[in-house]
C-alpha cells in the first residue's frame, strides 16, 4: 500500500515526507484494519516530524487521527464488522494513518453517525479525547464545585471541542482566550460565554467582567510561560489541566493555592494498557452528541489527496500558529 513516510527529522524548509510503497499493516489481537478516508493533522505530529528520526534503515509513518471504513477484523473483535464507518486515534508505538490503511485497536475507535462525512469525523477524535480526559472525572462530570472554566487557546483543536463539551454537558461558565478577530469569533461560535485576549492582561480583562478567580483552567499552549498569571487567577483548591508539553513546568507556584495539577496525553491509556476501553466509550458519547447536533465538527481547512504536497501545506498552517479549528486531509478515495 502507499503511505507518507520520512527517515530523518527535518524542518519545514527541508520538508522530506514522501509517498512510498510500504507493507500492509499486521493485525494484532483486538485489531481492525481500516481503509483511511480522511486524517486530521495535529501540532504534535509536526513536532515529531521536527524531532524524531527513524531507526537506521527504517522509516516513520505518522498520523493518529482518522476516519474510514473497516475492511478486516480479528476474530476477537466485538462490536465492529467489515463495512462499518469508524473514527478514532491510534498508538504512537505503531504506524499511523497517513496511509491507505491503518491497523488499530478496536477499543479506541467508534462508529461514525450516518449523517457525518468522513472529513468532519476526522476532525474530532484527538480534540475530543484530550478535552474530555483533561476536564471530566466520572462520566461527563466536572470536579465538584467547578462553575467557571477558562480555556487558554480556545480556537485550536482541543479548545474548540472543550468549549462545546462544556456547553453540551455542564452548566459551567466558559471563558476562552483568543487574540485575533477571526479566532475570537470562532470561540463565540463554539459557545464560549466570554472571550478575552491572551496577548493582553488576562486578570485585568476578567476583573472588568467582575471575575476575580476561576475554578478550572484548561491550558492548551505555552503553559510554562503563563504559569505566573494562571496561579494568581486559579481559586484555592482549583484545577489546572495541561495538555501541552513544556521543557520545564515549575508547579511550586500552585502550592499556595493547594491546586490540583492534571497533565493529559491522549495516548497514555494505550501506551500503558490502562482502561483502554474508556476511550472508545468517550468517542461513542461524542458521536451521539454530534448526531444530536450538540457538538459541531471543527474541520475548517479541508485538503484533498494524501500527498507530500497537501501534507506540507497542512504543516505550514500548523507551524504558522494561526490555524483555527482543525486541518483535515481527505484521501483520493473520498
**51: burial class by Cβ within 10 Å (0-12, 13-18, 19+)?**
exposed
Tell me the mean pLDDT in the region 195-205.
Answer: 92
pLDDT value of residue 331: 92
- Among candidate residues 38, 14, 1, the one with its CA nearest the CA of residue 326: 38
The CA-based angle 315-316-321, given to 5 degrees, is 95
Residue 182: its H or E element = helix 181-190
Please give the Cα distance from 192 to 85 (Å, whole number): 31
Q: Which domains does the chain have, with CATH numbers?
A: 2-124+268-330 (3.90.180.10), 127-263 (3.40.50.720)
Residue 102, pLDDT > 60, answer yes
Half-sphere exposure of 63 (CA within 13 A, CB side): 34
> Which region among 77-81, 245-249, 292-296 has the lowest average model confidence (pLDDT)?
245-249
- Among candidate residues 145, 161, 75, 125, the one with its CA nearest the CA of residue 267: 125
C-alpha cell at 139: 462520566
pLDDT value of residue 321: 83
- Which band of pLDDT confidence, cut at 50, 70 and 90, is reported for residue 334? very low
Residue 62, pLDDT > 50, answer yes
pLDDT value of residue 247: 77
- Among candidate residues 274, 299, 294, the one with its CA nearest the CA of residue 66: 299
pLDDT value of residue 249: 84
Mean pLDDT of the chain: 95
C-alpha cell at 57: 534503515
Residue 86, pLDDT > 70, answer yes
Residue 152: its H or E element = strand 148-152
pLDDT value of residue 332: 72
Residue 175, pLDDT > 90, answer yes
Half-sphere exposure of 45 (CA within 13 A, CB side): 30
Tell me the mean pLDDT in the region 86-107.
Answer: 96
Report the chain's terminal Cα–Cα distance, integer Å: 17
pLDDT value of residue 150: 98
- Among candidate residues 29, 322, 5, 299, the one with its CA nearest the CA of residue 178: 322
Tell me the mean pLDDT in the region 109-122.
Answer: 96
C-beta separation of 20 from 308 below 8 A: no
Amino acid at each position: 500500500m502507499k503511505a507518507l513516510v520520512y527517515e530523518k527529522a527535518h524542518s519545514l524548509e527541508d520538508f522530506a515526507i514522501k509517498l512510498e510503497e510500504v507493507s500492509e499493516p499486521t493485525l494484532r489481537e483486538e485489531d481492525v484494519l481500516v481503509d483511511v478516508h480522511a486524517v486530521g493533522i495535529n501540532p504534535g505530529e509536526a513536532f515529531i516530524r521536527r524531532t524524531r528520526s527513524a531507526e537506521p534503515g527504517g522509516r516513520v509513518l505518522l498520523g493518529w487521527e482518522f476516519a474510514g471504513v473497516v475492511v478486516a477484523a480479528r476474530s476477537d473483535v466485538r462490536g465492529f464488522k467489515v463495512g462499518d464507518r469508524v473514527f478514532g486515534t491510534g498508538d504512537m508505538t505503531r504506524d499511523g494513518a497517513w496511509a491507505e490503511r491503518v491497523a488499530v485497536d478496536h477499543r479506541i475507535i467508534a462508529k461514525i453517525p450516518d449523517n457525518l462525512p468522513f472529513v468532519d469525523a476526522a476532525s474530532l477524535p484527538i480534540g475530543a479525547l484530550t478535552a474530555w480526559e483533561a476536564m471530566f472525572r466520572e462520566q461527563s462530570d466536572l470536579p465538584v464545585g467547578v462553575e467557571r472554566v477558562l480555556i487558554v487557546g480556545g480556537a485550536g483543536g482541543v479548545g474548540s471541542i472543550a468549549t462545546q463539551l462544556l456547553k453540551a454537558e455542564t452548566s459551567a461558565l466558559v471563558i476562552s482566550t483568543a487574540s485575533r478577530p477571526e479566532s475570537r469569533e470562532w470561540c463565540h461560535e463554539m459557545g464560549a460565554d466570554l472571550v478575552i485576549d491572551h496577548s493582553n492582561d488576562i486578570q485585568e480583562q476578567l476583573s472588568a467582567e467582575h471575575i476575580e478567580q476561576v475554578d478550572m483552567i484548561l491550558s492548551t499552549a505555552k503553559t510554562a510561560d503563563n504559569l505566573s498569571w494562571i496561579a494568581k487567577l486559579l481559586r484555592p483548591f482549583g484545577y489546572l489541566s495541561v495538555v501541552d508539553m513544556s521543557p520545564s513546568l515549575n508547579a511550586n507556584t500552585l502550592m499556595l493555592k493547594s491546586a490540583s495539577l492534571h497533565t493529559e496525553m491522549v495516548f497514555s491509556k494505550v501506551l500503558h494498557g490502562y482502561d483502554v476501553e474508556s476511550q472508545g466509550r468517550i468517542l461513542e458519547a461524542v458521536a451521539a452528541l454530534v448526531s444530536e447536533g450538540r457538538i459541531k465538527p471543527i474541520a475548517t481547512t479541508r485538503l484533498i489527496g494524501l500527498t507530500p504536497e497537501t501534507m506540507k501545506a497542512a504543516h505550514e498552517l500548523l507551524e504558522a500558529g494561526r490555524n483555527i479549528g482543525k486541518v483535515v486531509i481527505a484521501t483520493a478515495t473520498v
